[in-house]
Amino acid sequence: MTSPDVPPLRLNGREIGPHAIMAVVNRTPDSFFDRGATYGFDAALAAADRAVADGAEIVDIGGVKAGPGEDVGVAEELRRVVDLVAAVRERHPAAVISVDTWRAEVGDAVARAGADLLNDTWGGPDPRLAEVAAEHGIGLVCSHAGALPPRTRPHRIGYGDVVADVVAHITGLAERAAALGVRRDAILIDPAHDFGKNTRHSLEITRRLRELTGTGWPVLVAVSNKDFIGETLGRPVDGRGVGTMAVLGVSALLGARVFRVHDVRAARQALDRCGALGAGR
């Protein structure tokens, strides 16, 4: 249970948190981290099974690589994610199923297949996605990507105050979603480290995360193995695990509620220990 002064987060009929793990399951052939290891249907379903067994409360299914790459149209994204959502729903009725998409058409289809949460990582390029979440009575992640189009990288991007820009944008999206009918206790905000940001921006957001958690909206952090960790520590993608756990710990102590990760077991152990330390045990 969360403390009385922390707003509840309720998805799939139950309260989530305070340190909830969101497991990444990418049905993509070109993921930056797993290089397509879970692109096949059976491999993706097995990954979802492992994530739940290892302690993930949320399984986040994605059908389009975040970064630049081969074009993936709506039909192909639907092919990759809808049947997987339905299969995970059947096998794990108590799990929260999230889908990483910015497209309203995909959001509608996965909601009908059993998704509980739409993870709009690109900061609202399709305003209809919030309407879809409201229509189906499911949750929504409101993110900040510096107004970049989906799947593009920042080039010499700058902010007067990156944290102020993030807070203004994502709280605006969250209030709009609530006004459209998305339940307030089913809305999360995500600063989206590295999306529309350079390493300095992502580090600044991490350091000042209290300004996001202080908004009253539950905060999701998606930092697992990202470039800002690699650049800061001088580590390749497969050597960023320790840095990821460090950022997760800092984020937990600063009030983050949901943590999107590749290594569920390690993250679960790290966050459980952070909880014990934070409680003074």
| Residue located via tokens 């014990």 | 276
User: Quick one: CATH architecture of 17-278?
Assistant: Alpha-Beta Barrel (3.20)
What is the reported pLDDT for 33? 84
**How is the chain split into domains, by residue range?**
17-278
Residues in the chain: 281
Whole-model pTM over 0.75: yes
What is the reported pLDDT for 34? 84
What is the reported pLDDT for 1? 37
**Strands 14-15 and 20-26, bridge-based pairing:** unpaired
Mean of the pLDDT values across residues 3-29?
Answer: 88
Answer yes or no: is pLDDT of 171 > 60.
Answer: yes
pLDDT confidence tier of residue 2, bands split at 50, 70 and 90: very low
pLDDT confidence tier of residue 127, bands split at 50, 70 and 90: very high
Residue range 43-96, pLDDT digits in tens = 999 999 999 999 999 999 999 999 999 999 999 999 999 999 999 999 999 999
Measured CA to CA, the distance from residue 270 to residue 192 in angstroms comes to: 21
